């Protein structure tokens, strides 16, 4: 069984020879410690981690991006701006999550300016100049899964990047019209780019990044999911059905209270994947969930 076959069978809950073994990898300081403890060579080969997915090299974010720049250099930390226009403080040794200071959308005017100046789905620079050669190479690789979308691109996930976690949660109540506009536009924007991708590239997985729960539960209520997010999940589901793409994973933290909303209403499996066609396909669910 090839790596691609194994992943797709796992994501669609079919029998397989063994579970795939994949990880996002160690933190940089963890890898350095392993090396001081005797690790030699490539850590992934030593641990037997399978190769990365083929990622469609398409820009699904701002075009142009913001400048990635240093704002202030402190003794142990730096204040930086990243490509999303987020300003944050981070340790120089990389041993922590950043402290977020500012996000690019603070009001409707910020959103409208970013939408008009940086979020045109028809911008040709979103695709690399050698797109035809890249797609030919990826399409000929029958071992690896080809994935479209990933970290930073979602419905709630992208809005959280634009506004900030606390700000986006408050905005659902203080400015629901703006939130509905952002979520709807970004979903339509992504699908417009997806449609161009699948003309040339054989896609196995559409990934929606929804980091909207922590270890103690969901950041957002089922009612808000139903009102703001499910209509957009259905749009993406219609896209994958239209193009016969077999898996559409979503990624969260611990969110058992949202499972009924995600599966029965949206057609998306909450913890790992969904089979195209809307059937309930779950893995890793807590035992109290039927």
Q: Inform me whether the pLDDT recorded for 48 exceeds 90.
A: no
Nearest residue to 193 via CA among 130, 240, 123: 123
Percent of the chain with pLDDT over 70: 86
pLDDT of residue 263: 39
pLDDT, tens digit, for every residue of 138-185? 999 887 888 888 777 889 999 999 999 999 999 999 999 999 999 999
Helix 230-242 and helix 176-200: axis angle, to 10°?
10
Q: Note whether 68 and 62 are within 8 A (CB).
A: no
CA 159 from centre of chain: 12
Give the integer Cα–Cα distance in Å for 158 and 3. 29
pLDDT of residue 59: 95
Residues 6 or more apart from 44 whose CB is under 8 A from it? 25
pLDDT of residue 177: 98
pLDDT of residue 107: 96
* DSSP secondary structure letter of residue 275: B
pLDDT band per the 50, 70, 90 thresholds, residue 261: very low
Region(s) of the chain under CATH 3.20.20.210: 53-64+105-265
Tell me which of 3.30.1540.20, 2.30.30.170, 3.20.20.210, 3.20.20.370 is the CATH number of domain 53-64+105-265.
Answer: 3.20.20.210
Sheet with strand 69-73: strands edge to edge: 69-73, 77-81, 87-91, 99-102
Q: Which residues of 58-87 are buried (b: 16+ CB within 10 A; e: fewer)?
A: bebbbeeebeeeeeeeeeebebbbbebbbb
| Selected residue with higher pLDDT from 73 and 248 | 73
């Amino acid at each position: 069984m090839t790596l691609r076959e194994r992943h797709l069978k796992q994501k669609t809950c079919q029998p397989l020879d063994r579970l795939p073994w994949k990880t996002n990898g160690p933190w940089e300081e963890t890898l350095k410690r392993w090396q001081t403890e005797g690790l030699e060579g490539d850590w992934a080969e030593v641990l037997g981690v399978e190769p990365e997915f083929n990622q469609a090299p398409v820009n699904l974010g701002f075009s142009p991006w913001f400048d990635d720049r240093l704002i202030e250099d402190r003794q142990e930390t730096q204040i930086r701006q990243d490509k999303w226009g987020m300003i944050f403080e981070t340790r120089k040794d990389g041993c922590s999550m950043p402290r977020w200071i500012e996000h690019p959308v603070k009001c409707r005017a910020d959103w409208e300016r970013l939408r008009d100046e940086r979020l045109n789905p028809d911008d040709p620079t979103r695709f690399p100049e050698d797109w035809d050669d890249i797609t030919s190479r990826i399409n000929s690789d029958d071992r690896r899964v080809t994935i479209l979308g990933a970290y930073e691109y979602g419905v709630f996930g992208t809005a959280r990047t634009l506004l900030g976690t606390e700000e986006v949660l408050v905005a659902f109540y203080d400015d629901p019209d703006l939130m509905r506009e952002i979520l709807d536009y970004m979903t339509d924007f992504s699908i417009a780019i997806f449609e161009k991708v699948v003309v040339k590239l054989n896609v196995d997985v559409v990934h929606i990044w929804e980091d909207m729960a922590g270890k103690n539960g969901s950041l957002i209520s089922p009612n808000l999911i139903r009102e703001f997010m499910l209509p957009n999940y259905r749009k993406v589901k219609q896209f994958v059905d239209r193009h016969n793409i077999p898996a559409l994973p979503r990624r969260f933290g611990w969110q058992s209270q949202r499972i009924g909303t995600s599966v029965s209403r949206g057609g998306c499996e909450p913890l790992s994947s969904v089979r195209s066609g809307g059937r309930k396909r779950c893995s890793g669910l807590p035992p109290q969930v039927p």
